[in-house]
Structure 1
Amino acid sequence: MLQVCLNGARDAADGGAVPLSPGALAESAAGAVAAGAVDVHVHPKSPCGHDTLSPRAVASTLEAVRSLVTVPVGVTTGAWAEPDPASRIERVRSWTVLPDHASVNWHEPGAEELAAVLLERGVGIEAGIWSGTDGAERFLRSPLAPRVLRVLAEVTDHEPAAAEEAAHALLARLGVAHGRPVLLHGEEGGAWPVLRLAGRLGLATRIGLEDTLLLPDGERAADNAELVAAALAGP
Protein backbone atom coordinates (compact mmCIF):
# COMPACT_ATOMS: atom_id res chain seq x y z
CA MET A 1 0.00 0.00 0.00
CA LEU A 2 1.37 3.39 -1.00
CA GLN A 3 -0.04 6.45 0.71
CA VAL A 4 0.60 9.98 -0.53
CA CYS A 5 1.35 12.65 2.10
CA LEU A 6 0.42 15.80 0.26
CA ASN A 7 1.85 18.72 2.20
CA GLY A 8 2.68 18.15 5.88
CA ALA A 9 3.62 21.15 8.00
CA ARG A 10 5.29 22.83 5.02
CA ASP A 11 4.20 26.28 3.91
CA ALA A 12 4.64 28.70 1.02
CA ALA A 13 8.33 29.08 1.83
CA ASP A 14 8.84 25.50 0.64
CA GLY A 15 7.84 26.39 -2.91
CA GLY A 16 4.81 26.54 -5.14
CA ALA A 17 4.70 22.78 -5.64
CA VAL A 18 3.43 22.29 -2.08
CA PRO A 19 -0.40 22.39 -2.11
CA LEU A 20 -1.97 24.48 0.65
CA SER A 21 -5.52 25.49 -0.28
CA PRO A 22 -8.39 22.96 -0.42
CA GLY A 23 -8.53 23.26 -4.21
CA ALA A 24 -4.80 22.77 -4.66
CA LEU A 25 -4.85 19.82 -2.26
CA ALA A 26 -7.71 18.21 -4.18
CA GLU A 27 -5.92 18.56 -7.51
CA SER A 28 -2.68 17.24 -6.04
CA ALA A 29 -4.49 14.28 -4.50
CA ALA A 30 -6.15 13.47 -7.81
CA GLY A 31 -2.81 13.51 -9.61
CA ALA A 32 -1.18 11.32 -6.97
CA VAL A 33 -4.03 8.80 -7.04
CA ALA A 34 -3.88 8.69 -10.83
CA ALA A 35 -0.15 7.93 -10.46
CA GLY A 36 -0.90 4.99 -8.15
CA ALA A 37 -1.43 6.19 -4.56
CA VAL A 38 -4.27 4.37 -2.80
CA ASP A 39 -4.59 6.50 0.36
CA VAL A 40 -4.21 10.21 1.13
CA HIS A 41 -2.76 11.97 4.20
CA VAL A 42 -3.24 15.73 4.37
CA HIS A 43 -2.66 18.67 6.72
CA PRO A 44 -5.56 21.14 6.51
CA LYS A 45 -4.34 24.73 6.53
CA SER A 46 -5.53 28.02 7.97
CA PRO A 47 -5.88 31.01 5.60
CA CYS A 48 -2.33 31.94 6.67
CA GLY A 49 -1.05 28.55 5.54
CA HIS A 50 -0.47 27.01 8.99
CA ASP A 51 -1.65 23.57 10.11
CA THR A 52 -5.00 23.72 11.84
CA LEU A 53 -7.63 21.40 13.31
CA SER A 54 -10.45 23.91 12.94
CA PRO A 55 -13.71 22.26 11.84
CA ARG A 56 -14.12 24.70 8.95
CA ALA A 57 -10.66 24.00 7.52
CA VAL A 58 -10.96 20.25 8.01
CA ALA A 59 -14.39 20.18 6.36
CA SER A 60 -13.42 22.29 3.36
CA THR A 61 -10.25 20.28 2.80
CA LEU A 62 -11.96 16.90 3.05
CA GLU A 63 -14.86 17.93 0.85
CA ALA A 64 -12.54 19.30 -1.81
CA VAL A 65 -10.28 16.24 -1.86
CA ARG A 66 -13.21 13.81 -1.85
CA SER A 67 -14.75 15.62 -4.79
CA LEU A 68 -11.86 14.38 -6.93
CA VAL A 69 -10.78 11.06 -5.35
CA THR A 70 -12.56 8.04 -3.89
CA VAL A 71 -9.68 6.57 -1.86
CA PRO A 72 -9.51 6.97 1.96
CA VAL A 73 -8.45 10.42 3.16
CA GLY A 74 -6.83 11.09 6.52
CA VAL A 75 -5.66 14.17 8.41
CA THR A 76 -3.09 15.04 11.03
CA THR A 77 -3.85 15.77 14.68
CA GLY A 78 -0.27 16.87 15.44
CA ALA A 79 0.24 18.90 18.60
CA TRP A 80 1.86 21.71 16.60
CA ALA A 81 -1.58 22.40 15.06
CA GLU A 82 -3.15 22.76 18.54
CA PRO A 83 -0.65 22.55 21.43
CA ASP A 84 -3.14 22.29 24.31
CA PRO A 85 -4.35 18.67 24.67
CA ALA A 86 -7.80 19.64 25.93
CA SER A 87 -8.30 22.14 23.11
CA ARG A 88 -7.14 19.55 20.60
CA ILE A 89 -9.81 17.14 21.79
CA GLU A 90 -12.47 19.85 21.62
CA ARG A 91 -11.45 20.64 18.08
CA VAL A 92 -11.85 17.00 17.07
CA ARG A 93 -15.22 16.79 18.84
CA SER A 94 -16.37 19.82 16.82
CA TRP A 95 -15.49 18.39 13.39
CA THR A 96 -18.57 18.42 11.16
CA VAL A 97 -16.99 16.39 8.36
CA LEU A 98 -14.99 13.35 9.45
CA PRO A 99 -11.86 11.95 7.81
CA ASP A 100 -11.54 8.24 7.14
CA HIS A 101 -8.55 8.19 9.49
CA ALA A 102 -6.38 10.54 11.51
CA SER A 103 -2.79 10.26 12.68
CA VAL A 104 -2.20 10.44 16.45
CA ASN A 105 1.40 10.83 17.58
CA TRP A 106 1.65 8.57 20.60
CA HIS A 107 4.51 10.47 22.23
CA GLU A 108 2.50 13.69 22.40
CA PRO A 109 0.61 14.72 25.55
CA GLY A 110 -3.02 13.64 25.48
CA ALA A 111 -2.57 11.09 22.69
CA GLU A 112 -4.49 8.34 24.47
CA GLU A 113 -7.46 10.58 25.22
CA LEU A 114 -7.48 11.96 21.68
CA ALA A 115 -7.41 8.47 20.20
CA ALA A 116 -10.37 7.47 22.36
CA VAL A 117 -12.40 10.42 21.05
CA LEU A 118 -11.56 9.58 17.46
CA LEU A 119 -12.62 5.98 17.98
CA GLU A 120 -15.88 7.15 19.54
CA ARG A 121 -16.53 9.20 16.42
CA GLY A 122 -15.78 6.28 14.11
CA VAL A 123 -12.51 7.67 12.75
CA GLY A 124 -9.71 5.20 12.07
CA ILE A 125 -6.40 5.86 13.82
CA GLU A 126 -2.91 5.87 12.38
CA ALA A 127 -0.75 5.50 15.48
CA GLY A 128 2.22 7.76 14.81
CA ILE A 129 5.29 6.19 16.40
CA TRP A 130 8.35 8.36 15.90
CA SER A 131 11.92 7.17 16.19
CA GLY A 132 13.81 8.93 18.96
CA THR A 133 10.74 9.09 21.23
CA ASP A 134 9.07 6.82 23.79
CA GLY A 135 6.06 6.48 21.49
CA ALA A 136 6.60 2.76 20.84
CA GLU A 137 6.62 1.89 24.53
CA ARG A 138 3.57 4.07 25.22
CA PHE A 139 1.71 2.50 22.31
CA LEU A 140 2.50 -1.08 23.28
CA ARG A 141 1.12 -0.41 26.78
CA SER A 142 -2.05 1.20 25.48
CA PRO A 143 -5.37 -0.66 25.72
CA LEU A 144 -6.33 1.11 22.48
CA ALA A 145 -3.40 -0.33 20.51
CA PRO A 146 -5.27 -3.36 19.15
CA ARG A 147 -7.99 -1.04 17.82
CA VAL A 148 -5.93 1.27 15.60
CA LEU A 149 -6.18 1.09 11.83
CA ARG A 150 -2.43 0.92 11.38
CA VAL A 151 0.88 1.91 12.93
CA LEU A 152 2.60 4.82 11.22
CA ALA A 153 6.27 4.11 11.95
CA GLU A 154 8.02 7.44 11.34
CA VAL A 155 11.80 7.56 11.02
CA THR A 156 12.99 11.08 11.82
CA ASP A 157 16.70 10.65 11.01
CA HIS A 158 17.58 12.58 7.86
CA GLU A 159 20.92 10.98 7.01
CA PRO A 160 20.30 7.99 4.68
CA ALA A 161 22.38 5.32 6.44
CA ALA A 162 21.28 6.44 9.89
CA ALA A 163 17.64 6.47 8.77
CA GLU A 164 17.74 2.86 7.61
CA GLU A 165 19.41 1.79 10.85
CA ALA A 166 16.83 3.73 12.87
CA ALA A 167 14.04 2.08 10.89
CA HIS A 168 15.27 -1.39 11.82
CA ALA A 169 15.54 -0.33 15.47
CA LEU A 170 12.05 1.16 15.49
CA LEU A 171 10.51 -1.95 13.96
CA ALA A 172 12.31 -4.10 16.53
CA ARG A 173 10.89 -1.96 19.36
CA LEU A 174 7.40 -2.26 17.93
CA GLY A 175 7.62 -6.03 17.56
CA VAL A 176 4.36 -7.39 16.19
CA ALA A 177 2.60 -4.10 17.15
CA HIS A 178 -0.47 -5.92 18.50
CA GLY A 179 -0.97 -7.42 15.06
CA ARG A 180 -1.75 -4.09 13.45
CA PRO A 181 -0.47 -3.29 9.93
CA VAL A 182 2.66 -1.12 9.82
CA LEU A 183 3.29 1.74 7.41
CA LEU A 184 7.00 2.59 7.47
CA HIS A 185 8.34 5.86 6.13
CA GLY A 186 11.19 8.35 6.46
CA GLU A 187 11.64 12.01 5.79
CA GLU A 188 14.01 14.36 3.96
CA GLY A 189 17.30 12.53 3.28
CA GLY A 190 15.91 9.37 4.85
CA ALA A 191 12.70 9.28 2.82
CA TRP A 192 13.87 7.21 -0.14
CA PRO A 193 16.11 4.74 1.76
CA VAL A 194 13.32 3.98 4.23
CA LEU A 195 10.74 3.68 1.44
CA ARG A 196 12.95 1.13 -0.33
CA LEU A 197 13.43 -0.75 2.95
CA ALA A 198 9.66 -0.87 3.45
CA GLY A 199 9.34 -2.38 -0.01
CA ARG A 200 11.92 -5.05 0.74
CA LEU A 201 10.14 -5.90 3.99
CA GLY A 202 6.72 -6.02 2.37
CA LEU A 203 5.38 -3.12 4.48
CA ALA A 204 3.07 -0.31 3.49
CA THR A 205 4.82 3.02 2.96
CA ARG A 206 4.20 6.56 1.83
CA ILE A 207 5.75 9.37 -0.16
CA GLY A 208 4.86 12.95 -0.87
CA LEU A 209 5.92 16.54 -0.43
CA GLU A 210 5.43 16.26 3.33
CA ASP A 211 8.31 13.80 3.53
CA THR A 212 10.61 15.06 0.77
CA LEU A 213 10.76 17.71 -1.92
CA LEU A 214 13.26 15.69 -3.93
CA LEU A 215 13.17 12.76 -6.32
CA PRO A 216 15.58 9.83 -5.79
CA ASP A 217 18.14 11.46 -8.12
CA GLY A 218 18.15 14.64 -6.03
CA GLU A 219 16.15 16.71 -8.50
CA ARG A 220 13.28 18.75 -7.10
CA ALA A 221 9.91 17.07 -7.64
CA ALA A 222 7.35 18.91 -9.73
CA ASP A 223 4.45 17.61 -7.64
CA ASN A 224 3.18 14.72 -5.53
CA ALA A 225 2.27 12.68 -8.60
CA GLU A 226 5.90 12.65 -9.72
CA LEU A 227 7.01 11.41 -6.28
CA VAL A 228 4.38 8.65 -6.33
CA ALA A 229 5.42 7.56 -9.82
CA ALA A 230 9.06 7.43 -8.73
CA ALA A 231 8.17 5.35 -5.68
CA LEU A 232 6.26 2.83 -7.75
CA ALA A 233 8.97 2.67 -10.41
CA GLY A 234 11.22 0.75 -8.01
CA PRO A 235 15.00 1.02 -7.52
Structure 2
Amino acid sequence: MAAPGDTGAVDSGRMLVQACINGARELTQHPRLTADATLAAADAARAVAAGAREIHVHPKDAAGRDSVAPDHVGEWVSALRAACPGIPIGVTTGAWTAPDVERRIAAIEAWTELPDYASVNWHEAGADEVAVALRRRGVGVEAGIWDGTGFEVWRDSAVRAECLRVLIELPDEAADGVRTHAEGLIAHVRAEDAEVPILLHGEERSAWPALALAAELGLDTRIGLEDTLVLPDDRTAFDNAALVRAAMAFVAPA
Protein backbone atom coordinates (compact mmCIF):
# COMPACT_ATOMS: atom_id res chain seq x y z
CA MET A 1 0.00 0.00 0.00
CA ALA A 2 1.19 3.54 -0.71
CA ALA A 3 2.52 5.55 2.20
CA PRO A 4 -0.09 7.76 3.89
CA GLY A 5 -0.39 11.07 2.04
CA ASP A 6 1.43 9.71 -1.02
CA THR A 7 -0.54 9.77 -4.27
CA GLY A 8 1.46 6.78 -5.44
CA ALA A 9 1.33 8.09 -8.98
CA VAL A 10 2.27 11.70 -9.65
CA ASP A 11 5.85 12.01 -10.86
CA SER A 12 7.96 14.79 -12.36
CA GLY A 13 5.05 16.78 -13.73
CA ARG A 14 3.66 13.89 -15.78
CA MET A 15 -0.13 13.86 -15.91
CA LEU A 16 -1.84 11.01 -14.18
CA VAL A 17 -4.53 9.13 -16.08
CA GLN A 18 -6.60 7.06 -13.69
CA ALA A 19 -8.86 4.31 -15.05
CA CYS A 20 -12.30 4.25 -13.39
CA ILE A 21 -13.29 0.82 -14.58
CA ASN A 22 -16.91 0.31 -13.53
CA GLY A 23 -18.70 2.75 -11.23
CA ALA A 24 -22.23 2.28 -9.98
CA ARG A 25 -23.61 1.35 -13.39
CA GLU A 26 -25.96 -1.55 -13.97
CA LEU A 27 -24.02 -4.50 -15.37
CA THR A 28 -26.33 -4.61 -18.39
CA GLN A 29 -25.05 -1.24 -19.61
CA HIS A 30 -21.84 -2.64 -21.14
CA PRO A 31 -20.43 -6.12 -21.83
CA ARG A 32 -17.24 -5.38 -19.84
CA LEU A 33 -19.14 -4.51 -16.66
CA THR A 34 -19.10 -7.51 -14.38
CA ALA A 35 -19.64 -8.76 -10.84
CA ASP A 36 -16.62 -11.05 -11.28
CA ALA A 37 -13.55 -9.48 -9.68
CA THR A 38 -11.16 -11.61 -11.74
CA LEU A 39 -12.69 -10.51 -15.04
CA ALA A 40 -12.70 -6.89 -13.90
CA ALA A 41 -9.04 -7.20 -12.90
CA ALA A 42 -8.11 -8.49 -16.35
CA ASP A 43 -9.89 -5.52 -17.89
CA ALA A 44 -8.03 -3.20 -15.51
CA ALA A 45 -4.71 -4.75 -16.53
CA ARG A 46 -5.47 -3.94 -20.17
CA ALA A 47 -6.20 -0.35 -19.15
CA VAL A 48 -2.85 -0.15 -17.38
CA ALA A 49 -1.10 -1.51 -20.47
CA ALA A 50 -2.83 1.27 -22.44
CA GLY A 51 -1.39 3.95 -20.15
CA ALA A 52 -3.43 4.16 -16.94
CA ARG A 53 -1.31 4.62 -13.82
CA GLU A 54 -4.01 4.13 -11.19
CA ILE A 55 -7.23 2.15 -10.93
CA HIS A 56 -10.44 3.35 -9.28
CA VAL A 57 -12.97 0.59 -8.74
CA HIS A 58 -16.35 0.00 -7.14
CA PRO A 59 -16.19 -3.42 -5.48
CA LYS A 60 -19.35 -5.44 -6.16
CA ASP A 61 -21.38 -8.09 -4.44
CA ALA A 62 -22.53 -11.19 -6.34
CA ALA A 63 -25.55 -9.31 -7.70
CA GLY A 64 -23.39 -6.49 -9.07
CA ARG A 65 -24.25 -3.92 -6.40
CA ASP A 66 -21.58 -1.57 -5.06
CA SER A 67 -20.25 -2.64 -1.68
CA VAL A 68 -17.86 -1.55 1.06
CA ALA A 69 -18.25 -4.86 2.91
CA PRO A 70 -14.85 -6.25 3.97
CA ASP A 71 -15.18 -9.50 2.00
CA HIS A 72 -16.10 -7.69 -1.23
CA VAL A 73 -13.44 -5.00 -0.87
CA GLY A 74 -10.86 -7.66 -0.03
CA GLU A 75 -11.78 -9.81 -3.02
CA TRP A 76 -11.68 -6.94 -5.50
CA VAL A 77 -8.55 -5.22 -4.20
CA SER A 78 -6.69 -8.55 -4.08
CA ALA A 79 -7.71 -9.42 -7.65
CA LEU A 80 -6.69 -6.01 -8.98
CA ARG A 81 -3.36 -6.08 -7.15
CA ALA A 82 -2.57 -9.50 -8.61
CA ALA A 83 -3.44 -8.36 -12.14
CA CYS A 84 -1.88 -4.88 -11.87
CA PRO A 85 1.25 -5.17 -9.71
CA GLY A 86 2.65 -1.87 -8.51
CA ILE A 87 -0.44 0.09 -9.57
CA PRO A 88 -2.25 2.08 -6.84
CA ILE A 89 -5.80 0.83 -6.32
CA GLY A 90 -8.63 3.02 -5.03
CA VAL A 91 -12.21 2.24 -4.07
CA THR A 92 -15.44 4.13 -3.55
CA THR A 93 -17.01 4.94 -0.19
CA GLY A 94 -20.14 6.46 -1.73
CA ALA A 95 -23.11 6.75 0.61
CA TRP A 96 -25.19 4.43 -1.57
CA THR A 97 -22.88 1.52 -0.64
CA ALA A 98 -24.09 1.73 2.98
CA PRO A 99 -26.43 4.68 3.65
CA ASP A 100 -25.88 4.51 7.40
CA VAL A 101 -22.61 6.33 8.11
CA GLU A 102 -21.78 4.25 11.18
CA ARG A 103 -22.24 1.07 9.17
CA ARG A 104 -19.92 2.38 6.48
CA ILE A 105 -17.27 3.30 9.04
CA ALA A 106 -17.59 -0.11 10.71
CA ALA A 107 -17.01 -1.75 7.33
CA ILE A 108 -13.89 0.36 6.74
CA GLU A 109 -12.58 -0.55 10.17
CA ALA A 110 -13.03 -4.23 9.31
CA TRP A 111 -11.27 -4.13 5.93
CA THR A 112 -8.51 -6.75 5.81
CA GLU A 113 -7.12 -5.94 2.35
CA LEU A 114 -6.54 -2.20 2.31
CA PRO A 115 -6.74 -0.15 -0.88
CA ASP A 116 -4.14 2.53 -1.46
CA TYR A 117 -6.78 5.24 -1.37
CA ALA A 118 -10.54 5.74 -1.31
CA SER A 119 -12.81 8.45 -2.69
CA VAL A 120 -14.95 10.39 -0.23
CA ASN A 121 -17.80 12.52 -1.58
CA TRP A 122 -17.72 15.70 0.49
CA HIS A 123 -21.32 16.62 -0.34
CA GLU A 124 -22.49 13.47 1.48
CA ALA A 125 -23.37 13.42 5.17
CA GLY A 126 -20.60 11.96 7.31
CA ALA A 127 -17.75 12.72 4.88
CA ASP A 128 -15.41 13.90 7.63
CA GLU A 129 -16.06 10.82 9.74
CA VAL A 130 -15.50 8.48 6.79
CA ALA A 131 -12.26 10.28 5.91
CA VAL A 132 -11.03 10.03 9.52
CA ALA A 133 -11.75 6.30 9.52
CA LEU A 134 -9.79 5.86 6.29
CA ARG A 135 -6.79 7.83 7.54
CA ARG A 136 -6.86 5.84 10.78
CA ARG A 137 -6.42 2.71 8.66
CA GLY A 138 -3.59 4.34 6.66
CA VAL A 139 -5.72 4.65 3.51
CA GLY A 140 -5.29 7.79 1.40
CA VAL A 141 -8.30 10.03 0.78
CA GLU A 142 -9.46 11.49 -2.53
CA ALA A 143 -11.76 14.41 -1.73
CA GLY A 144 -14.62 14.30 -4.22
CA ILE A 145 -16.07 17.77 -4.83
CA TRP A 146 -19.11 18.12 -7.11
CA ASP A 147 -20.40 21.55 -6.16
CA GLY A 148 -20.13 24.57 -3.89
CA THR A 149 -21.74 22.78 -0.98
CA GLY A 150 -19.19 19.97 -1.08
CA PHE A 151 -16.38 22.50 -1.44
CA GLU A 152 -17.49 24.40 1.65
CA VAL A 153 -17.61 21.24 3.78
CA TRP A 154 -14.15 20.20 2.53
CA ARG A 155 -12.78 23.72 3.10
CA ASP A 156 -13.84 23.60 6.75
CA SER A 157 -12.80 19.99 7.30
CA ALA A 158 -10.18 19.10 9.89
CA VAL A 159 -9.06 16.32 7.54
CA ARG A 160 -8.55 18.62 4.54
CA ALA A 161 -4.77 18.82 4.85
CA GLU A 162 -4.50 15.02 4.88
CA CYS A 163 -6.21 14.50 1.53
CA LEU A 164 -3.87 13.19 -1.14
CA ARG A 165 -5.80 15.02 -3.86
CA VAL A 166 -9.01 16.82 -4.71
CA LEU A 167 -11.24 15.09 -7.22
CA ILE A 168 -13.21 17.78 -9.07
CA GLU A 169 -16.14 15.92 -10.57
CA LEU A 170 -18.37 17.50 -13.20
CA PRO A 171 -21.90 16.18 -13.73
CA ASP A 172 -23.46 15.12 -17.01
CA GLU A 173 -23.71 18.54 -18.64
CA ALA A 174 -23.31 20.13 -22.05
CA ALA A 175 -19.75 20.69 -23.25
CA ASP A 176 -20.16 24.47 -23.40
CA GLY A 177 -20.65 24.61 -19.62
CA VAL A 178 -17.64 22.49 -18.68
CA ARG A 179 -14.91 25.18 -18.67
CA THR A 180 -16.85 27.68 -16.56
CA HIS A 181 -17.96 25.03 -14.07
CA ALA A 182 -14.52 23.44 -13.78
CA GLU A 183 -12.52 26.64 -13.57
CA GLY A 184 -14.82 27.99 -10.86
CA LEU A 185 -14.29 24.94 -8.65
CA ILE A 186 -10.55 24.87 -9.40
CA ALA A 187 -10.21 28.53 -8.39
CA HIS A 188 -12.00 27.90 -5.09
CA VAL A 189 -9.78 24.90 -4.29
CA ARG A 190 -6.59 26.76 -5.24
CA ALA A 191 -7.61 29.71 -3.04
CA GLU A 192 -7.64 27.36 -0.06
CA ASP A 193 -4.67 25.17 -0.99
CA ALA A 194 -2.44 26.15 -3.89
CA GLU A 195 -0.43 22.92 -3.74
CA VAL A 196 -2.99 20.13 -3.41
CA PRO A 197 -3.06 17.90 -6.52
CA ILE A 198 -6.31 18.18 -8.50
CA LEU A 199 -7.82 15.44 -10.64
CA LEU A 200 -10.47 16.80 -13.01
CA HIS A 201 -13.03 14.58 -14.70
CA GLY A 202 -16.59 14.59 -15.98
CA GLU A 203 -19.26 12.05 -16.70
CA GLU A 204 -21.33 11.23 -19.77
CA ARG A 205 -21.52 14.38 -21.94
CA SER A 206 -18.87 16.20 -19.86
CA ALA A 207 -16.37 13.29 -19.74
CA TRP A 208 -14.32 14.07 -22.84
CA PRO A 209 -14.55 17.88 -22.60
CA ALA A 210 -13.38 17.68 -18.98
CA LEU A 211 -10.52 15.38 -19.91
CA ALA A 212 -9.43 17.73 -22.71
CA LEU A 213 -9.55 20.66 -20.28
CA ALA A 214 -7.51 18.73 -17.72
CA ALA A 215 -4.87 18.10 -20.38
CA GLU A 216 -4.87 21.78 -21.32
CA LEU A 217 -4.46 22.86 -17.69
CA GLY A 218 -1.93 20.14 -16.82
CA LEU A 219 -4.19 18.51 -14.23
CA ASP A 220 -4.53 14.83 -13.48
CA THR A 221 -7.59 13.16 -14.96
CA ARG A 222 -9.43 9.89 -15.31
CA ILE A 223 -11.48 7.94 -17.82
CA GLY A 224 -13.27 4.62 -17.91
CA LEU A 225 -16.63 2.92 -18.09
CA GLU A 226 -17.69 4.62 -14.86
CA ASP A 227 -17.61 8.02 -16.55
CA THR A 228 -18.51 7.24 -20.15
CA LEU A 229 -19.28 4.30 -22.42
CA VAL A 230 -18.25 6.10 -25.59
CA LEU A 231 -15.10 7.28 -27.33
CA PRO A 232 -14.63 10.93 -28.34
CA ASP A 233 -16.31 10.19 -31.69
CA ASP A 234 -19.38 8.75 -29.88
CA ARG A 235 -18.66 5.14 -30.83
CA THR A 236 -19.19 2.68 -28.00
CA ALA A 237 -15.84 1.79 -26.42
CA PHE A 238 -14.87 -1.88 -26.55
CA ASP A 239 -13.40 -1.77 -23.05
CA ASN A 240 -11.61 0.43 -20.54
CA ALA A 241 -8.35 0.09 -22.43
CA ALA A 242 -9.94 1.66 -25.51
CA LEU A 243 -11.03 4.64 -23.43
CA VAL A 244 -7.55 4.99 -21.89
CA ARG A 245 -5.89 4.82 -25.31
CA ALA A 246 -8.17 7.61 -26.52
CA ALA A 247 -7.34 9.64 -23.40
CA MET A 248 -3.61 9.28 -24.03
CA ALA A 249 -4.05 11.10 -27.36
CA PHE A 250 -5.09 14.17 -25.32
CA VAL A 251 -2.48 13.72 -22.60
CA ALA A 252 0.50 12.87 -24.82
CA PRO A 253 -0.40 13.81 -28.41
CA ALA A 254 1.82 12.40 -31.15
TM-score scaled by length of structure 2: 0.89
Corresponding residue for residue 35 of structure 1: 50
Alpha-carbon deviation of 1:177?
A: 4.6
The alignment of Structure 1 onto Structure 2 pairs a total of residues equal to 234
Structure 1 unaligned segments of length 5 or more: list them.
none
| Partners of 2:64 and 2:114 in 1: CA distance | 21
TM-score scaled by length of structure 1: 0.96
Corresponding residue for residue 8 of structure 2: none
Corresponding residue for residue 107 of structure 2: 91
Q: Secondary structure at the match of 2:96?
A: coil
1:11-47 deviation digits (Å, cap 9, x = unpaired): 2221212243201211011000000000000000011
| Partners of 1:119 and 1:164 in 2: CA distance | 32
RMSD over aligned CA atoms reads 1.2
1:126-137 map, 5 Å: 126-131=142-147, 133-137=148-152
* 1:57 matches 2:67: no
Q: Secondary structure at the match of 1:49?
A: coil
| Partners of 1:115 and 1:137 in 2: CA distance | 16
| Partners of 1:217 and 1:149 in 2: CA distance | 33
Structure 2 unaligned segments of length 5 or more: list them.
1-15
Corresponding residue for residue 81 of structure 1: 97
Aligned to 1:13, which of 24, 28, 31?
28
Q: Percent identity?
A: 49
Q: Which moved more, 1:81-90 or 1:11-20?
A: 11-20
| Partners of 1:161 and 1:26 in 2: CA distance | 35
* 1:232 matches 2:248: yes
1:156-184 deviation digits (Å, cap 9, x = unpaired): 14211122321112112222452310000
Corresponding residue for residue 167 of structure 2: 152
| Partners of 2:176 and 2:87 in 1: CA distance | 33
Amino acid at match of 1:82: A
Q: Secondary structure at the match of 1:67?
A: helix
| Partners of 1:203 and 1:78 in 2: CA distance | 24
1:160-179 map, 5 Å: 160-178=175-193, 179=195
Amino acid at match of 1:49: G
| Partners of 1:189 and 1:13 in 2: CA distance | 20
Contact residue 34 and residue 64 of structure 2 kept, 8 A: no
Corresponding residue for residue 219 of structure 1: 235
